[in-house]
Amino acid sequence: MAKQTKSALGRGLGALITMDDLNTGGSSSINEIDLAKITPNPDQPRTVFDEEALDELATSIQALGVVQPITLREVSPEKYQIISGERRYRASLKAGLETIPAYVKKASDENVMEMALVENIQREDLNAIETALAFQTLIENYQLTQEKLSERIGKKRATIANFLRLLKLPAEIQMGLKDKKIDMGHAKLLLSLDEPADQLSVYELVVEQGCSVRKTEEIIAALNRENQSQSQKSVAKKYSKALTEAFQPLKQHLSSFLDTEVNLVLTEKGGGKITVAFAGQEDLEKIIQRFDAMIKK
């Protein structure tokens, strides 16, 4: 049974978000709820809880109690699910508490996830990948556009789009971002590379050398210049080969006329060179004689 207590303590989730269209009605007073009757939200955006930080919070709770209530919704009689405050809930269990102060609200599944996401973003509790996955889940599960999600959670559409792009990075880089081996600035730069192999190569170098975002930008700029140069060389080589093949009859004609091997190489601009092979002075004299004979005609 929820036990009624005083009406306000701390700022609470209500002070963090202002979304009139969310169905979050219900009592705004604080209740003491048995921890045994509470379950975490399976769609909680936050997936990583630092155990050392939880131990420190548990010690604080043992000394001072839970300063800020958590927010719950009633899912069945005397059964509650966490909307926000799972970290305080976990620490309270560690501290050996039997009850915890809580707001109990009415909320749909969609509202629960939105509220949990907003609170975690406001507190900067989520890593970039957790935030991206939460955005993706809301969009897919509730058929929201990026624009609509932007309106509901108070984030710019461009910000949402940038987070969602992180999910296109190779899994190894996503894990590195989640484990804070790199930050959002590094990840944005890696996204500027088209090839996953290049992304991984630069990522490994950044982690190994502890490169700053600025240094990473320089590395990627150098790689792009190298790739562009290689691409231009490849195109020129293919073009030259195609032109050479087009002039193959002329090459064969010259070889037959001079009775020796003739090589023909053409450039992109239409120029080129003819190379006439000779085995020795005698061969060279024969070739010159042929040219002389052709001129005299």
Which residues are the active-site residues? Answer: 86
Question: How far is the C-alpha of 229 from the C-alpha of 211, rounded, in Å?
Answer: 25
Residue 149 neighbours by CB under 8 Å, 6+ apart: 135, 138, 139, 155, 160
Residue 275 Cα distances to 107, 261, 272, angstroms: 83, 8, 10
CA 253 to each of CA 168, 181, 257, 271: distance values in angstroms, whole numbers, following the listed order: 56, 64, 6, 19
Cβ-in-10-Å burial (0-12, 13-18, 19+) of 216 comes to: buried
| DSSP 8-state assignment for residue 2 | P
- 3-class DSSP state of 266: strand
Nearest CA-CA partner of 144 in 24, 21, 14? 21
Pick left, alpha or beta for residue 226 (phi over 0 → left; psi -120 to 50 → alpha; otherwise beta): alpha
